[in-house]
Chains A and B, each alone.
Chain A
C-alpha cells in the first residue's frame, strides 16, 4: 500500500505523455514523485493512448525522420493553422525544444519506426511510435516504475488547496475513497474538458449530446476548472474544440483514430435537410480534415452524409463501418432516412456542374464544378456508377482549447500576472497557450513532451533547493 501520509516532493495529476514526461524528469532530478492517473491501468494514458507520432524539428535526416524540418518552416506551419492565435515566444521555444523530444522519449524506452503506409506525407516532419501511442504509454510507465515513481491508478485529483498561488495539498478520490495528498510542488497534466458533456452543453446546448469524444472519457477538466476557479489565469477560447469528421456509428467516447473518415474529398456531403454546405474538394485532406468536425457540428442534428459511388471506393482508407449501399440514389436515401427526391436533385445538379478533367486522388487535380454553390473545387467526378454509397458523419472532438496560462518555464500564471509559487502545467491543460485554434499533426505530443520535461525539471529544482 502507498503511504499517503507522506509528503511527496512532486504530485503529478494526469497519466498521459505530458504527465509521464514531467514525472520521469522530476524523478531523474532526484525528487520523490507521485503520479495520480484517473483511469484504471488498462485505460491509462489519456489521449496519448490514441496518438501516433510527435512533430520534431531536425536539421538533417535522423533514423526515423527524413530530410530536415527547421524552425521557420515549423513556425510557418503553426502560424497558418492557428491563424496567428498563438504566443510566438512560447511557440518558438517549444519548436526549438521539440528537436530533443524523440531522443528523450527513446531514453524512456519508446521505440520509433519509419513511416510505412497511410501517412507517407508526414515522414519528414513527424517521428512515428512503433505500435502507436499505447506502446509509447507502456514504455513510459515501465520507465516510471523502474525509477521508483509512485503510480496510483483510479485516482482522480479533484481539488487543489491553494493560498496566494501556493498549492499545499490535493483532495483526491483514490479507488473510490476520498483521500488527501501532500506535496511541495504540483504539476497539472490532466488534459482538457472535452469528455465533460455538461461543460460542453454550456456553450453548445443540446448539440453537445451529438458530439463524439474521440479520445479518453477521463478528460473531464476537473483540475482545469478547479484551477481557473481559484484565480489562475485562463487562455484559449472556452467554446472551441478541435474536431474531425467521424463515422456517425462510432462509439460516443474513446473510438480513437480509426473512426475518422477520409471520404469527404471523394464525395458530395449533404446535411439532414439534404443540402450541401461546404466545398468538399477545397484542399488536400490532410489540410482540411480538421475543419469538417466543426462544419458538421454546425449542421442541424450535428449529422451529415457523404455520398459517392463505386468509382471512389479505392480512393480513401477503408472505413471500420461498412457504408450504406444501394443501386439507386433514391434507394440509398430511403436507407439513411433522407428525402429521396431532394437527394436525387442534389446529385443531378452536382453531376450537371462537373467539368471534364483528369482525376488524381493524391494531388490537387483539375476536376471541378462550374456554376454550383457551394462549388466542389477538386476531385469532382460524376456520381453515376452504381452501387452508390453513403458514409454517415458526426463531429468527433479531439480536444478543447481552454487552458491555464503558463510561462516559458511551464509555471502556472495567476490572474494578477504573477507566477504561481509551486504549480506547473504540461500537455492539453496548457496547450491553448500555443494552439489558439487549429491543429498540426503530432504537435500535441511535442507540447506535452517539451512542457512535461520543463515542468518536471522546474518542480524538482524548486523542491531540491
Chain B
C-alpha cells in the first residue's frame, strides 16, 4: 500500500471531529454513513468523499468551520479527495495525471477535436463541401462520410465507456467491494437517489448553494443538465434506430423524435451548464475547492458548447454554414467522449457506486454506540 496523501490524512482528522459532534446528521447521507464507523480507513474516506454531493450545508452549519482553529471544511476536503480518487482509478493508470491540470486538458482536447474533424473533412472530401448548402436525405454524410462519423463515434464513446468501467472496477475494489450491494433493494434505492438527487435536498429544504440561505437552485440546474444530456443521448439512439431499422436517413424533420429530443435536450443542457457555472461564480468561495475550478468550468463550457453548436446546426442545416457547424459540433462531441474518463464526468460513476454501497450499508449495520 502506498503511503497516504495529505488529503486523506486531513479528511480523517476532520471526520474524527465530525464523528464526535454529529450535528450534521440530518443533512445528507455522508453523516449517517460516518456514524456507522469509529475508525476511518482510506477506503472509508474515499467512499464518504464520493458520497458527498458538495452541497455545503455542513460547512455553513459548522461550529468548527474556519476561522475556528479546527478549520473543518468538509466540502473542500472531500472535493479534493474525490479528485485524487479520479486520478487514482483512471484507466490506463498514467492518464490519472490528467486530473492535475484538468481545465487545460479539457480545453486543449476540445480544441484538438474540432481541429481534427475539420482537417479530416477537408482532407477526405472536396473542401468545397464545407461551404456549399446540402439538402435532402443524407445531407450530413456528404460533409462527413457516414462510415467516418460512425467509426469515430463508436471508437471514442466505446473507449470512454471501457475506461470508465475499468475505473469503476478499481474503485469498487479499493473501497472494499461490499457483498450483496447489487441486490434489488439497495440498487433500487441508489437509482432513486441518483435520479432525484435526494442528497442535494439538504434534509428537505435545499442546500447552501450560495451562502447560509437554503435553495434548490443547484439541484434543479443539475437536473436540467443531466436530463438534457440524457435527452440528447435519446436523440442519438432514436436517430440510430431510424437509420438502421427503418432506413430513414438524417436530417430528420423538426417534429421527428430525434430532433425533438435533441432540441429540448440541448436547451436544458445550456440552461443547466450556464446556471451551474453562474452558481460557481457567485457562491461563497470558502467552501469551494479552488484548484478544481478549472476542470469544472472547462467541462461545463464544453457541455454548453456541445449543446449550443447542436442547436446552431439545427438552425443552419439548410444553409452553407451547415458543413462547418457539423464539423465543429462533432469535433466537440468526439473530444467530450475522449476526455470523459479524465474529467469531472467520472463523478457520476463513483457517486453512483457510493450511493449503492451506502444503500447496502444502511440495510446491514447498526449505528455505533451512542450516549446523550
A interface residues (Cβ-Cβ under 8 A, vs B): 42-43, 49-50, 52, 111, 113-114, 116-122, 128, 130-135, 138, 142, 251, 254, 256-258, 262, 285-286, 289, 313-320, 361-362, 441
Contact = CB atoms under 8 A, between A and B. Distances in A.
Given A119-B370, A122-B372, A318-B368, 18 more contacts: A42-B65, A111-B204, A113-B25, A116-B26, A118-B25, A119-B372, A130-B203, A131-B24, A131-B27, A132-B63, A134-B62, A286-B371, A316-B369, A317-B20, A317-B368, A320-B16, A320-B20, A361-B369
B157 to A, nearest CB: 42
A116 B367 CA distance: 10
B25 A117 contact: yes
B23 interface: yes
Nearest to B61: A131
Contact of A113 (B38, B62, B203, B371): B203
A113 B20 contact: no
Given A138-B212, A318-B368, A117 B32 contact: yes
B22 A135 contact: no
B363 interface: no
Nearest to A253: B69
A256 B370 contact: no
A77 to B, nearest CB: 14
Given A134-B62, A142-B212, A42 B205 contact: no
A98 to B, nearest CB: 19
A116 B36 CA distance: 12
Nearest to A136: B61
A114 B203 CA distance: 10
Contacts of A251: 69
Interface string B52-77: 00000110111111111100000000
A52 B68 CA distance: 18
Contacts of A319: 20
A258 B372 contact: no
B372 A116 contact: no
Nearest to A254: B68
Contacts of A320: 16-17, 20
A142 B214 CA distance: 11
Nearest to A320: B20
Contacts of B24: 131-132
Q: Which of A128, A251, A258, A285 has the most CB of B within 10 A?
A: A258
Contacts of A122: 372
Contact of A318 (B16, B27, B68, B213): B16
Nearest to B35: A117
Interface string B6-18: 0000000000110
B82 to A, nearest CB: 22
A254 B24 CA distance: 18
Closest 5 CB pairs of A and B: A131-B61, A132-B23, A113-B26, A286-B372, A135-B61
Nearest to A322: B16
Nearest to B19: A318
Contacts of B64: 256, 258
Nearest to B370: A118
Contacts of B25: 113, 116-118
Interface of B: 16-17, 19-27, 32, 35, 38, 57-58, 60-69, 203-205, 212-214, 367-372
24 contacts: A111-B204, A114-B26, A116-B25, A117-B22, A117-B25, A117-B367, A118-B372, A122-B372, A130-B26, A132-B61, A133-B63, A134-B62, A135-B212, A251-B69, A256-B21, A256-B64, A257-B63, A258-B21, A289-B372, A313-B38, A314-B38, A314-B369, A315-B369, A317-B371
Nearest to B64: A256
Nearest to B32: A116
A131 B371 contact: no
Contacts of B16: 318, 320
B211 to A, nearest CB: 9
Nearest to A215: B63
Contacts, number: 113
Nearest to B36: A117
B57 A131 contact: yes
Contact of A441 (B17, B371, B372): B372
Q: Which of A43, A130, A131, A289 has the most CB of B within 10 A?
A: A131
Contacts of B66: 42
A120 B32 CA distance: 14
Contacts of A42: 65-67
A257 B213 CA distance: 24
A258 B25 CA distance: 14
A317 B369 contact: yes
A465 to B, nearest CB: 36
Contacts of B17: 258, 320
Given A132-B61, A133-B63, A134-B62, A117 B21 contact: no
A359 to B, nearest CB: 13
A50 B63 contact: yes
Nearest to B18: A258
Nearest to B371: A262
A288 to B, nearest CB: 11
B66 to A, nearest CB: 8
Contacts of B67: 42-43
Nearest to B21: A258
A316 B38 contact: no
A256 B22 CA distance: 12
A135 B60 contact: yes
Nearest to B203: A130
Contacts of A128: 26
Nearest to B213: A142
A358 B352 CA distance: 44
B103 to A, nearest CB: 30
A106 to B, nearest CB: 11
A212 B65 CA distance: 20
A130 B27 contact: yes
Contacts of B371: 118, 262, 285-286, 316-317, 362
Contacts of A120: 370
Q: Which of B57, B62, B213, B369 has the most CB of A within 10 A?
A: B369
Contacts of B19: 317-318
A131 B56 CA distance: 11
Contact of A118 (B22, B65, B68): B22
B209 to A, nearest CB: 14
A317 B369 CA distance: 6
